[in-house]
Amino acid sequence: MLGFDLSSKKALVTGGSRGIGLSIARGLAEARADVVVSSRNGEACSTAAAQIATATGRRAAGIACDVARDDEVTKLFAAIEEQGMGPLDIVVTCAGVAELTPSIELERAQFQRMLDIHLLGSFDVARRGAAQMQGRGGGAILFCSSIWGLGAQRMAAAYGAAKAGLCSLTRTLCVEWAPLGIRVNAIAPGLVETDMTAPLLEYPQMRERMVKSAPMRRTATPDEMIGAAVFLCSPAASYVTGHVLVIDGGVMAR
């Protein structure tokens, strides 16, 4: 029976030094994968990798990278090879930022930054990962989208558009890369308590409104993303591709 064991697999998690990315990186290591943790903060990457290695006994490396910059993504993949952490079998893209701005005040540069980090950065990392997977039996790509990419949220035009782009990219790459043995899926979390969402939740009215919108009447923790992520990256999901798995406490069911 196909299971969740990721022994002998090598994984990259961008945005992996905190929040959802850190939880997923640890979850992959707990499933016996060796993991590369990447984010813009090199010190945070090294700390996260050391914690994961100590907790799981798996190899873990921290490599700094700003996915919005093509030259840094190139250096990331070179460093992965230099440190013996490749070729990759699993790529998870969680790097991201969030901000709320009234659309009428939203400047082009702000919009472009969201696209560069969430959409273009994810594609660039996935494309390079897929190049290592082809000819080796394939692999798994997992994007971190959002329910804001599936439905409307006021003042989140740029963020929502970038996350919606990831949902579309998931389906397109699924069709194109399936013949290579590469599965492409995404998770779409609802409101998760992280450092990134903390500024949004500082406002009691916003927190109350968002919590009330979820039938489960609460926010999620980063660790609640682990099960879905490990499943979609594991042999247990061998016939699952092109899927966006919503993890939102029932918000989108309304």
Q: Which residue has the higher pLDDT, 79 or 214?
A: 79
Contacts of 146 (CB under 8 A, 6+ apart): 159, 160, 163, 188, 189
- Architecture (CATH level 2) of domain 10-247: 3-Layer(aba) Sandwich (3.40)
What gap in Å lies between CA 120 and CA 125, rounded to an integer?
9
Q: Is the pLDDT of residue 203 over 70?
A: no
**Per-residue burial over 129-145, b = 16 or more CB atoms within 10 Å of its CB, e = otherwise:** bbebbeeeebbbbbbbb
State the pTM of this model.
0.95
Share the mean pLDDT of the chain: 94
Active site members? 159
- Locate the domains of the chain by residue range: 10-247
What pLDDT was estimated at residue 1? 47
